[in-house]
Structure 1
């Protein structure tokens, strides 16, 4: 059995490593600059296997009772093995430790099962596209 990926809280992340992960998982160029995003985050977690970034999740907060899970991403070679669930549950633990009361996540309908396994329950919400 393969050893589980190692989860690291708030590691330094290069734009190149993040671009590689996001391109593999989502396609596209992955030209996001992560330092300004992470500077505003409550916390983030990364997953590594043999030194390679294979997973990521970001948690942003309002400075009070609410925080949001963003950018949950797992490399395709690692999907369907529980890594995403581990990342989201660890992020929830970090948010709890920061005294967050409500952890929110938005997702597409086909991800309902995944987020239910992570402990979330569906709620009605609104979304406004500003672009």
Structure 2
């Protein structure tokens, strides 16, 4: 398989249901795939959805939610295990945020998986407890 960035096309697109379920399943996000209609409704309601494809195969997806004027959230970034650590994730995040460069608050809430911090810091994000001036973050589940 060639490097994931070679021949990979990244851009705005709403992927089909089955390939979306396959991608979410491949990265272990089963909570999303348990309710396919809800997942597709979430994607459709996003401010922006971008995908990464090579030879027509869905390799990754990122989506942004928010008002597009004062705040946007990077909600999901998925890269198929076959394409990880190849630049696809960075390209997805850059493409997802491209129309929102002037939005003051670009926010991300993610799991504390190994490697997450280094990846998101390399994209210019700062963990909330490290931010100056001091910020607070709250979550209710």
TM-score bin (small chain): 0.7 to 0.9
TM normalised by structure 2 equals 0.79
Partner residue, 1:100: 103
Cα distance, 1:52–1:43 mapped onto 2, change above 3 Å: same
Which 4+ stretches in 1 moved above 6 angstroms?
A: none
How is 1:32-111 mapped onto 2 (pairs within 5 angstroms)? Answer: 32-33=36-37, 34-96=39-101, 99-109=102-112, 110=114, 111=116
1:28 positional shift: 3.1
Aligned match of 2:133: none
Q: CA deviation at 1:104?
A: 0.3
What does the per-residue CA deviation read over 1:12-55, in whole Å, with 9 as the maximum and x for residues that have no partner?
Answer: 31111100111111153824234422332111100001101010
Deviation of 1:128 after TM superposition, in Å, equals 1.4
- Structure 1 window deviating more from structure 2 (119-128 vs 22-31): it is 22-31
The Cα of 1:115 is off from its aligned counterpart by 0.4
Task: Pick from 10, 19, 34 the counterpart of residue 17 of structure 1.
Answer: 19
| Superposition CA RMSD, Å | 1.9
2:140 alignment partner, SS class:
coil
Aligned 8 A contact 1:59 1:95 in 2: no
If the length of structure 1 is used for normalisation, what is the TM-score?
0.84
Q: How many residues align?
A: 126
Alignment match, 1:7: 10
Any idea what the Cα deviations from partners look like across 1:39-88, whole Å, max 9, x if unmatched? 32111100001101010000001353000001110000000111111111
